[in-house]
């Protein structure tokens, strides 16, 4: 049974389509991460799921229940979900414990059970000792964790998190991510998690959706997004990807300025994008791409070169290389692997992984 199903879902604000004809299906118990540039519609999609916005068009089903469709609208309080939003709203006059208990009171859970659940939820987020404080007596990160505890306390089937780690330091983010994984495992709830941090998404998600301009470009398992991006936007957005304009020949070869590559699958013929990540290329004696070193930097202690390929537009490739080659040096690049996408309306292809010609 799919836990979340959206069918042709749109949300318009005047001329802006914040969510533009999205159809998706996420199974029960998934950890669904939503990625995309600022303004791409992530929060708007979450607000639609939460019932804080009514769709302009389309339908949302949670579990067996249609919660939004033409003529149907289930109020947020009746959707059995918990939310932690970018701007977490805590009641300033209530203690931390009272804030966490608030949703439970709404559900008319009796006092003894409430006390147990509040203590449990605060312990889960590492704030067991701060239940008596008021929100203004907490740091930003602690306030965010109170908001998470409040969402968890009602034990919802669906938890919506909009950048819940944005205000936390790097160490606490890692700890909280591990906590999310644990809470996800233990509760069996479906999580929808909006983040700007791809590593964060890849670390915890079972499904990742990439949004752009209100549309869903692709929804897939994390490694599929890396290995088989469905659109040039996804290829560029995920993991330092670069796309180079190339031509695919009818005989299964791809022409590059200084050589050819052989296709493993079926593609083209016609204009294509060759999608390359740092792991796909290496500096070599010979290779089908020749380029100039335009920059060198250290990334996590490894030397990374920026290399501008000749005759392939103005996009520099990031290439890991141990040697400190000087800026301006000319090098060849060997292509170990890669991925092709049709360019300018070419027909859709089945399988288009490429490998270097032996
Ligand atoms: N209440 C509103 N009225 C008008 N336009 C809105 C409203 N809410 C959002 N938008 C517009 O809808 C688009 C999507 O916004 P949304 O907040 O969903 O983006 P986002 O992906 O969450 O961005 P960010 O990563 O910056 O949080 C943007 O162009 C935004 O300006
Ligand atoms: Mg947002």
- What are the structural domain ranges in the chain? 4-221, 241-357
Most informative mutation of 35, 44, 167 for ligand 1 (most atoms within 8 A of CB): 44
Residue-level pLDDT at 174: 83
Residue with more model confidence, 312 or 354: 312
What is the pLDDT confidence band of residue 353, given thresholds at 50, 70 and 90?
A: low
Query: Which whole number is the average pLDDT over 300-304?
Result: 83
| Ligand nearest the Cα atom of residue 196 | 1
11 CA: nearest ligand 1 atom:
12
Query: Would the pLDDT of 253 be above 50?
Result: yes
Using CA atoms, how far apart are residues 98 and 92, in angstroms rounded to an integer?
10
pLDDT class of 213 with cuts at 50, 70, 90: very high
Tell me how far CA of residue 137 lies from CA of 88, 171, 324, 348, in angstroms.
15, 22, 50, 57
* 47, 60 Cβ separation under 8 angstroms: no
The closest of 222, 279, 270 to 248, measured between CA atoms, is 270
The two structure tokens encoding residue 289: 């791409």
The pLDDT assigned to 118 comes to: 95
Q: Has residue 98 got a pLDDT over 50?
A: yes
Residue 251 CB-density burial (10 A; 0-12 exposed, 13-18 middle, 19+ buried): exposed
Ligand 1 mean position to 42 CA, how many Å?
8
State mean pLDDT over 89-109: 89
Q: What is the pLDDT of residues 142-184, one digit of tens each?
A: 888 898 899 888 888 899 999 888 777 788 788 778 878 888 8
Model confidence pLDDT, tens digit, residues 23-79: 999 999 999 999 999 999 999 999 999 999 999 999 999 999 999 999 999 998 889
Tens digits of residue pLDDT in 2-15: 599 999 999 999 99
| Confidence category of residue 254, pLDDT binned at 50, 70, 90 | confident
Contact 287, 332 (CB under 8 A): yes
Looking at the predicted structure, is the pLDDT value of residue 357 above 60?
no
pLDDT at 358 over 50: no
* pLDDT above 80: residue 83: yes
Q: Is the pLDDT of residue 82 over 80?
A: yes
Q: Determine whether 322 is exposed, middle or buried from the number of CB atoms within 10 Å of its CB (0-12, 13-18, 19+).
A: exposed
CA 262 to CA 253: how far, in whole Å? 5
Measure the CA–CA gap between 245 and 92, rounded to whole angstroms.
55
> 87 CB less than 6 Å from ligand 1?
no
Q: How far is the CA of 119 from the centre of ligand 1 (A)?
A: 35
Regarding the beta carbon of 41 and ligand 1, being less than 6 Å apart is answered yes
Mean pLDDT (whole number) for 220-225: 92
Supply the pTM of this predicted model: 0.87
Considering only CA atoms, which residue is closest to atom 29 of ligand 1?
39
Q: Would you state the CATH architecture of domain 4-221?
A: 3-Layer(aba) Sandwich (3.40)
Q: DSSP per residue over 178-246, as a string?
A: HHHHHHHHHH--EEEEE-S-HHHHHHH-SEEEEEETTEEEEEE-HHHHHHS-SSHHHHHHSTT-EEEEE
Per-residue pLDDT, averaged over 111-135, amounts to 92
Task: Please choose, from the candidates 6, 7, 10, 12, the residue with its C-alpha nearest in 3D space to the C-alpha of residue 20.
Answer: 10
Section 328-333 average pLDDT: 95
Q: Which sign does the torsion angle of CA 112, 118, 124, 127 carry?
A: negative
Average pLDDT, the chain: 89
Two tokens at 25?
């299906």
Question: Residue with structure tokens 């605060």?
Answer: 122
For tokens 């968890």, name the residue.
152
Residue, of 325 and 96, whose pLDDT is higher: 96
Evaluate the omega torsion of the peptide bond into residue 44 and state whether it is cis, within 30 degrees of 0. Answer: no
Distance 44 CA to ligand 1 centre (A): 6
Ligand 1 atom at minimal distance to the Cα of residue 214: 14
């Amino acid at each position: 049974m799919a836990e979340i199903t959206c069918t042709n879902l749109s949300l318009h604000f005047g001329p802006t389509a914040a969510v533009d004809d999205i159809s998706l299906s996420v199974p029960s118990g998934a950890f669904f991460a939503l990625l995309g540039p600022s303004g791409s519609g992530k929060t708007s999609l979450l607000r639609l799921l939460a019932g804080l916005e009514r769709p302009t068009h389309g339908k949302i089903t949670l579990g067996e229940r249609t919660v939004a469709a033409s003529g149907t609208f289930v109020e947020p309080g009746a959707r059995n979900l918990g939310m932690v939003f970018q701007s977490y709203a805590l009641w300033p006059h209530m203690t931390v414990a009272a804030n966490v208990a608030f949703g439970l009171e709404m559900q008319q859970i009796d006092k003894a059970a409430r006390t147990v659940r509040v203590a449990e939820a605060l312990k889960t987020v590492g704030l067991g000792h701060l239940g008596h404080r008021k929100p203004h007596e907490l740091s930003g990160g602690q306030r965010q964790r109170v908001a998470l505890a409040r969402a968890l306390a009602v034990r919802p089937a669906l938890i919506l998190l909009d950048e819940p780690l944005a205000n936390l330091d790097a160490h606490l983010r890692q700890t909280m991510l591990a906590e999310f994984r644990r809470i996800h495992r233990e509760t069996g709830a479906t999580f929808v998690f909006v983040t700007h941090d791809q590593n964060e998404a890849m670390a915890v998600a079972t499904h990742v959706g990439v949004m752009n301009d209100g549309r869903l470009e692709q929804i897939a398992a994390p490694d599929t997004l890396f290995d088989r991006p469905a659109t040039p936007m996804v290829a560029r957005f995920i993991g330092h990807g670069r796309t180079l304009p190339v031509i695919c020949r009818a005989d299964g070869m791809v022409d590059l300025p200084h050589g050819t590559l052989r296709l493993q699958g079926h593609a083209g013929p016609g204009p294509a994008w060759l999608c390359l990540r740092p792991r796909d290329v290496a500096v070599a004696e010979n290779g089908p791409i020749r380029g100039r070193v335009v920059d060198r930097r250290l990334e996590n202690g490894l030397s990374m070169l920026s290399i501008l390929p000749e005759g392939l537009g103005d996009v520099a490739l990031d290439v890991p290389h141990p040697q400190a080659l000087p800026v301006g040096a000319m090098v060849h690049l060997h292509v170990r692997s890669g991925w092709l996408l049709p360019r300018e309306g070419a027909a859709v292809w089945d399988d288009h992984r490429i490998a270097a010609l032996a």
